[in-house]
Structure 1
Amino acid sequence: MSTLTLHKGITLNHFQLKVLGILLMVFDHVHQFFYIDGIPMWFTWLGRIVAPIFLFLSAEGFHYTRNRFKYLLHLYIGFVGMNFVSQELQTAFPSDNVLINNIFGTLFLAVLYMLLIDQLIQSILQHHWWKMLGTIGLMIVPVLLSFLAISLLSQEHIPSWSLYLIYVLPIPMLVEGSYLFVLVGVMFYLLRKHRIGQIAFFILFSLIIGFMSGPSLLDLDTNFQWLMIFAVIPIWLYNGEKGRNMKYFFYLFYPAHIYFLYLLAYWIQQ
């Protein structure tokens, strides 16, 4: 089934889907920074569908972008920039809240593997065996970095240089959502011509996460990540159209609203 319009009636274009993700993201982060002040749990339940939406849009964006390396570069700059700004902000304004948010690393790795998979397929079809081996090697590097990071972080005295390594290198085990969200982004890309396949994969993935996280899917106080399953609704409504162009809005709004909420929480605590 094509990623184009699947049905008549209500549909969402790329811009509208992104706006929906941004709005629900704000709900999620308001709960993150103010849950001790009585923000209800359902704020974060709504936020469960946000990461899948942006992973889905990253697959679409990667397919349509004119410059894939520039797309990767923007995500990488966002990742590194947020890491250093977050560190400096927490040093200047120490708080009970911890700035762990940085979806740019997850999106970067997902898009990187999309690029490498395309390159691997092309090298196989063209019988470029050395290029194929080189691509496989590049695909293994982030995995090896994960083992290195785990080894360094498990030491009693963590080397200071290793922290800077983590700041500048997106590592599958340490990015937001870990390697599982990277896998989600890659699968959305591989199945992008088959919307039903995307939906079926993500429903199965969400249910597995739910059953692995607790004995009951109804215990939403502790086992709520599986609620991301409802991202299939806006994904199903996606009509494949671009809509309004606000290319850099997310790159600016995402860190800006997180830092605003962090500082607001800090000032309220003071």
Structure 2
Amino acid sequence: MEKKLNSNHLKIIAIIAMTIDHAANLFYPSFPTQPLPIALHIIGRLTAPIMWFFIAEGYHYTHNIKKYLLRLGIFAIISHFAYCFAFGINFVPLKTGIFNQTSVMYPLFIAVLVLWFQDSEFRYKVLKHILIFVLVWSAFPADWSCIAVLVIIGIHRHRGDLKKQTLIMMLWVMLYAVVSFFFVNKVHGIIELFVILVYPLMKRYDGQRGKAKWLKWFFYIYYPAHLVVIGIIRIIMYGDTPILF
């Protein structure tokens, strides 16, 4: 298969899929078992694996890890409030539950922080492993939970081998799907497995960034901005009522 997709193409696909997925949450709250919302959420499964892949790539290519972490950290904080507003979640994490308490941007930030710790020299190795353990588990209440962190670590570790990256991703996602099936929402748990649909797209990735350098910053702006719009529409449609599960 000829490789014709650069990182910009894949990021645009991720943005479109994400918007479709979040619109499904808005217009069909609580993951109903109807064909249309299920189809929309399946399309939305393309977003997370593309984001995971390019976070790992970003870590590999960054010339300044501290600036990269700072950018992701600020992005995670802004996105927390936008995500909670969008779906009617209390801004104080864990106040109303342990699942979906903040956006997937927090695990992305944590994943890069963990990779940095893993590659850094620590005098006390036991302390290093404890810090990594705590950081990974700190992502548990977020969207995609610790799984996002563990998948990114696996993608980074097997860089250049798409089959191994996909296998590692699916093993962790299957665990997440099982937990979601039994403790969150059965339909949601099954739908998560459709992240595998990203594989044929990633096989077409040519390793190039593309000419539109502004697209990187567009995503940083678009993610919280579209969540704010969803939050406004949510309040107009339902009042200040949660719409996830």
Q: 1:50 to 1:86 in 2, by over 3 A?
A: closer
Counterparts of 1:240 and 1:174 in 2: how far apart (Å)?
A: 33
Give the number of aligned pairs: 221
Quick check: 2:102–2:141 contact (8 Å CA) kept in 1? no
Cα deviation for residue 265 of structure 1 reads 2.5
Question: Partner amino acid for 1:250?
Answer: F
Match of 1:229, SS? helix
Q: 1:209 to 1:65 in 2, by over 3 A?
A: same
Which residue does 1:153 correspond to in 2? none
Q: 1:248 to 1:210 in 2, by over 3 A?
A: same
Q: Deviations over 1:29-59 (max 9, x none)?
A: 0001111599632111111121111011100
Q: How does 1:72-151 map to 2 (within 5 A)?
A: 72-84=69-81, 100=101, 102-119=103-120, 123=121, 130=123, 132-133=125-126, 135-142=128-135, 146=137
Which residue does 1:245 correspond to in 2? 213
Percent identity among equivalent residues? 27
Given candidates 213, 232, 255, the residue that maps to 2:224 is 255
* Unmatched tracts of structure 2, length 5 or more: 90-99, 240-245
Cα deviation for residue 67 of structure 1 reads 1.0
Cα deviation for residue 260 of structure 1 reads 0.3
Which residue does 1:179 correspond to in 2? 146
Q: Does 1:225 align with 2:192?
A: yes
Question: Partner amino acid for 1:46?
Answer: I
Given candidates 6, 13, 16, the residue that maps to 2:6 is 13
Quick check: 1:199–1:236 contact (8 Å CA) kept in 2? no
Instruction: Calculate the TM-score normalised by the size of structure 2.
Output: 0.77
Question: Partner amino acid for 1:50?
Answer: T
Instruction: Calculate the TM-score normalised by the size of structure 1.
Output: 0.70
Counterparts of 1:221 and 1:63 in 2: how far apart (Å)?
A: 32
* Unmatched tracts of structure 1, length 5 or more: 1-7, 92-98, 124-128, 147-170
Largest Rg, 1 or 2: 1
Counterparts of 1:141 and 1:210 in 2: how far apart (Å)?
A: 22
RMSD: 3.2
